[in-house]
Amino acid sequence: MIEKIPFLHRQRMYNIIIEEDITFTALHSIMDELISQGAFEAYEDCGELFLVVHDDVRYTVGVDGIDVIIANK
């Protein structure tokens, strides 16, 4: 079941959209990596895709404003 979860990270609110369970450690790590890649600095109206690896799991992450869509494929 796909869930939309409000998530506070580094004093900023995001909407995490994910189908499978994820640990808070993995989620914080993914968010830190997205920030380091400049995912939330884009000024375009469309979203972008990013590849993030945490504990040997590859996540494809879509970012559109404060919406973060995570798939571990």
Element (H, E) at 24: helix 24-36
- Global pTM reads 0.87
Q: What is the pLDDT of residues 3-32, one digit of tens each?
A: 899 999 999 999 999 988 899 999 999 999
Instruction: Please tell me the predicted confidence (pLDDT) of residue 10.
Output: 94
The Cα angle at residue 64 between residues 34 and 28, in degrees rounded to 5: 30
Instruction: Please tell me the predicted confidence (pLDDT) of residue 30.
Output: 96
Say which amino acid occupies 11: Q
Q: What is the pLDDT of residues 38-61, one digit of tens each?
A: 998 866 666 889 999 999 999 999
| Domain segments of the chain as ranges | 3-71
Which pLDDT band holds residue 72 (cuts at 50, 70, 90)?
confident
